[in-house]
Amino acid sequence: MARIIKVGKWLDCGCCGEDFQVWDGYVDQDQDDGYGICQSCQADIQQRNEAEIDKIVVEISKGLSPESRENYLAKPIEEQREFALACLHKGFVKMTFVAN
């Protein structure tokens, strides 16, 4: 359950450790009290998530017939990502995380 955090309150970023002020529209990340995720780290996390989803898009396209692949890849990237996420959520695709 998301907590309401007052705009202007200072939190420590649980990702980079920097302190930041909560902004209008800030969404609580369910961190410990006094912690959150700053805008910079949120952007980094979003970019990494999109890159991982894009890898799923490519893997799905590899399993399609040439005609289906062409149709799939011709769709807007957001539609491709939504389909990839739906496949992930339904268990048709699995992700494996490998430590660096």
Q: What is the pLDDT of residues 13-56, one digit of tens each?
A: 999 999 999 998 888 877 788 899 999 999 999 999 899 999 99
Residue 72 has pLDDT above 90, yes or no: yes
| Radius of gyration of the chain measured on its C-alpha atoms | 18
The DSSP element (H or E) to which 35 belongs, if any, is strand 35-36
Q: What is the pLDDT of residues 55-71, one digit of tens each?
A: 999 999 999 999 999 99
Give dist(CA 38, CA 59) in Å, integer.
Answer: 32
Give dist(CA 13, CA 21) in Å, integer.
Answer: 10
Q: What interhelical angle do 39-62 and 77-89 show, nearest 10?
A: 80
